[in-house]
Structure 1
């Protein structure tokens, strides 16, 4: 279910179907949600549930609620209370995300076949007081790391699985890139530096990294006083003082290079 129409088009179409919608009382609630004196709407479509219009409000990230229900993309999220709602993380470009309602956590997702919204309660052992988003697909509580796995069949319910790691969870934090933005790949605790390998579901310790001088250059690239790293792996025979990323390309000693599978730099011949 992808929302592609802009608000102007929605308003024009609302006017065209004015016999159904009361355009005199119509007002925007937020992000494709509207209501008039009779009904509530999402993306020009009447919400099928009996909406309590007096308490109907927009929340965030295509969620809305009234005193009785929580709505996502205009659909009632069954089994989830609208009270104490907290949006945690958007997992992908489709409606897959994690929310908290009351003391419980849910994975909310859309079935690609019938475009219906479902909510799967997280009933595995997590510490509910400290469970939080750590990065785009990584979560943590005081005891473990968890990773969002979207490879399972939707009928089985998508799950979060534990990260393999040896890091000290309590002191772990993400490093910042050279431009000041938070890296979502390189993290450190009080003793070591790690690379978040989402593909293999691991937090990998970077062996022999110089902890005090370790810094993220950009995205997958990092360096310390001795070496340069790509995806957490050391590049061979590289002086970090002459290594740069320029317009997403590797520049070393004023020449441009690419990386081969053995972590060697291969010079790019330019015409």
Structure 2
């Protein structure tokens, strides 16, 4: 029996090819998708059950509907078929809720917005396992985290002024009163004078910060990030790795390297520690590796 393909769409999600398709097989509709975790094609549901063939339409690689129901990956959902609106691939809303896949988010669909100041709702990024982002409606705001199994954790921003809320990225947001880091309110940073994006170094009128951790031993006036490196800095007295002093580092000859390594004229460092008696040959493979485990670094005291 021949199989008639309805639509075949190929998307690239963070360099991962995703192929998904609803297709007719005789008087049945099936859904097939690519499981990028296991690297194989799978049928999420061998047959899309209870479907009305005459009114069936595919909306995108994930969603379809008939006169009664909206389907996600071939499974029936609670999404209202008359008011469904595709926001971005696997993010939709209806008159009642916003959905990631078939999971309801707490944010209201009324006046729903992504908070990131670099993102318009016309250029919303693809949401996938591992995503984090800020969203808001007319009354509340949330930081949303999607874990590797696509479970959702939502943190409501405490007392947020949603009208003034903006974010630099998926990590840090602010309104007129507070700074929020992964959705948690940070009460010790001065909002009006804060300069930073929560990734690397920033400052307010009182302190310098690494992410949102105070660099306690920094000389305020002379402290500066080393250009091109978000986790190394100097002031007139010391060199820093993140929020910690690299003890004994020679300021004039100090040079950041890769993967948390650095050097001065006397030798090498990993993070905030000098690696005593260690040569370049001892660490070159660690310096150039991806996903370095701390306990592999020779000479580092744990």
TM tier, smaller: 0.5 to 0.7
Mapped pair 1:130 → 2:142: no
1:102 offset after TM fit, Å?
A: 1.8
TM-score (norm 2): 0.58
Spell out the pairing of 1:1-271 with structure 2 (5 A cutoff): 7-11=18-22, 13-14=30-31, 17=47, 20=51, 22=53, 26-29=57-60, 32-38=61-67, 39-52=69-82, 55-60=83-88, 62-77=90-105, 80-88=107-115, 98-106=134-142, 122=157, 124-133=158-167, 136-148=170-182, 161-165=184-188, 167-174=189-196, 184-189=199-204, 192-197=207-212, 202-211=213-222, 213-224=224-235, 226-248=237-259, 249-253=261-265, 255-259=267-271, 263-269=273-279, 270=281
Q: d(CA) in 2 for partners of 1:72 and 1:137? A: 19
* 254 and 11 in structure 1: CA distance in 2 versus 1, 3 angstrom threshold: farther
Shift of 1:111: 11
Deviation at 1:6, TM superposition (A): 6.0
**Helix, strand or coil at the partner of 2:211:** strand
Higher Rg of the two aligned structures: 2
Residues 134 and 170 in structure 2, CA contact (< 8 A), matched pair in contact too: no
Counting matched residue pairs gives 236
CA distance in 2, matches of 1:34, 1:40: 7
Q: CA offset at residue 229 of structure 1?
A: 0.7
1: CA distance between counterparts of 2:140 and 2:256?
44
User: Does the Cα contact within 8 Å between 2:253 and 2:265 map onto a contact in 1?
Assistant: yes
Alpha-carbon separation, structure 2, partners of 1:146 and 1:87: 15
CA distance in 2, matches of 1:257, 1:214: 18
Structure 1 SS opposite 2:256: strand
Distance across 1 between alignment mates of 2:232 and 2:18: 40
* C-alpha spacing 1:259/1:49, structure 2 compared with 1 (3 Å): closer
Q: Quick check: 1:186–1:196 contact (8 Å CA) kept in 2?
A: yes
Q: Which moved more, 1:221-230 or 1:129-138?
A: 129-138
Unaligned runs of 5+ in 1: 149-159, 175-181
CA contact (8 A) 2:86 2:92 kept: yes
SS at match of 2:247: coil
Q: Which whole-Å CA distance do the structure 2 matches of 1:205 and 1:86 have between them?
A: 37
Larger relative contact order (Cα-Cα within 8 Å, sequence gap ≥ 6): 1
The SS at the match of 1:48 is coil
- CA deviation profile, 1:152-196 (whole Å, cap 9, x unmatched): xxxxxxxx544252x43212122xxxxxxx770310235653223
Contact 2:72 2:102 in 1 (8 A): yes
1:27 deviates by: 3.2
SS in 1 for 2:71: strand
TM-aligned CA distance change 1:127 to 1:233, over 3 Å: same
